[in-house]
Amino acid sequence: MQVSPISFDRFNVLKDAEAHERIRAAKEKLGKRVSLLVHHYQRADIYQHHDLTGDSLKLSRLASQSDAEYIVFCGVHFMAEVADILSKPEQISILPDLAAGCSMADMANLAKVERCWRDLRDVLGTPDELITPVTYINSAADLKAFCGEHGGIVCTSSNAPKILDWSFKQREKVLFFPDQHLGRWTAHKMGIPLDAMQVWDPDLPNGGLTPEQIKGAKMLLWKGHCAVHQMFQPAHITNWRKQNPDGMVISHPESAFEVCTASDYVGSTEYIIQVVKDAKPGTKWLVGTELNLVNRLADEVKHEGKIVQFMSPMVCMCSTMQRIDPQHLAWTLENLVEGKVVNRISVPAHEAELAKLSLERMLAVS
């Protein structure tokens, strides 16, 4: 008999302090049966409840190694999908609020990628022999399955150089989706000239490119971006450097090419944290990535006299990840205590099998 879950209505009205108390109590009751995997961008009040934290590569590995019965993912939808795909069949992956998506991931979908592949077939003849499809981990499971099926691979912001290197060893061209910026920056660092890269606009026939442009491109970059990282501008760096000539600038590779080139360091969230933590006491940093991470990092290193500042004058948070609030987390965990599962993320078996292929290729290469 199906047991109905406790309704969220009873949790929606909870004051934060009570929700936190109930989260702690439920975690204690569940013990090792539950593991809370928390991304670096998570808001501070949720972050404090983590069992494990990381960037998307580290969290994928942790999900694949976890023995917990329930993996509660405090991140966004694609991350909970990856946890479901890489964990054991009997483990259950949960996203406390199903509205926690990734706007960049939504910029590509299977219908558009399949149409792109057909357009490329019309121009090139045999895309499977000529092009390695590479999907950023910030994408739906069916796109990872597409890559699995077509000899492609997944990448994250921390392993993108190794993945592109592998991809070009397989075939002469790469179709990179959905983040044009990570693709462009990584290919540029490998020495691929900018004029050998073309932006594929999925809303235009042939991506808005001529057959000659498609034939001449080594790298086809899907026209997608992150709404948070697009807020950073080269002028923010120039102005800050005027005030802080001895300061250092570090950015996430989802930022625009001009921001990455103006930065001293570029890398994933885990890399950013490591570089700043390893830096000499008293150093000053301008950081181009999500605000929750930057605030936490500033707090963690201030006792060494390090100053960490956020790149944009505007508040840029990952608004979708923010949706995981204390009320949703308390609701999720109390249901688990009662033996009821809410918001399970379950990738259909056939899709999961193909997606796993492209994720396992990634884990092997990185």
Binding site for ligand SF4 (CB under 6 A): 41, 76, 102-104, 138, 226-228, 254, 290, 318, 320-321
Least distance (Å) from ligand SF4 to the CB of residue 56?
Answer: 8
Least distance (Å) from ligand 13P to the CB of residue 256?
Answer: 14
Listed in sequence order, the residues at least 6 apart from 311 whose beta carbon sits closer than 8 Å to its beta carbon are 232, 236, 237, 240, 249, 251, 259, 286, 287, 288
What string of DSSP letters covers 69-130? SEEEEES-HHHHHHHHHHS-TT-EEE-S-TT---TTGGG--HHHHHHHHHHHHHHHS-HHHH
Residue 123 contact among ligand SF4, ligand 13P, none, beta carbon within 5 to 8 Å by kind:
none
Measured CA distances, 154 to 41, 140, 150, 166 (Å): 21, 11, 12, 11
Instruction: Specify the residue, 19 or 221, whose C-beta has the smaller distance to ligand 13P.
Output: 221
Q: Is the omega angle on the peptide bond into residue 211 within 30 degrees of 0, that is, cis?
A: no
Residue 294 contact among ligand SF4, ligand 13P, none, beta carbon within 5 to 8 Å by kind:
none
Kindly state whether residue 135 participates in binding ligand 13P, applying the rule CB under 6 A. Answer: no
Instruction: Specify the residue, 30 or 59, whose C-beta has the smaller distance to ligand SF4.
Output: 59
Kindly state whether residue 138 participates in binding ligand 13P, applying the rule CB under 6 A. Answer: yes
Looking at the chain, the number of H-run helices and the number of E-run strands are: 17, 13
Q: Which amino acid, 162?
A: K
Least distance (Å) from ligand 13P to the CB of residue 206?
Answer: 29
Give the one residue of 56, 251, 292, 332 binding ligand 13P; rule: CB under 6 A.
Answer: 56
Give the residue closest to ligand 13P by C-beta. 55
Site residues (vs ligand 13P, CB under 6 A): 55-56, 138, 156-158, 226, 254, 268-269
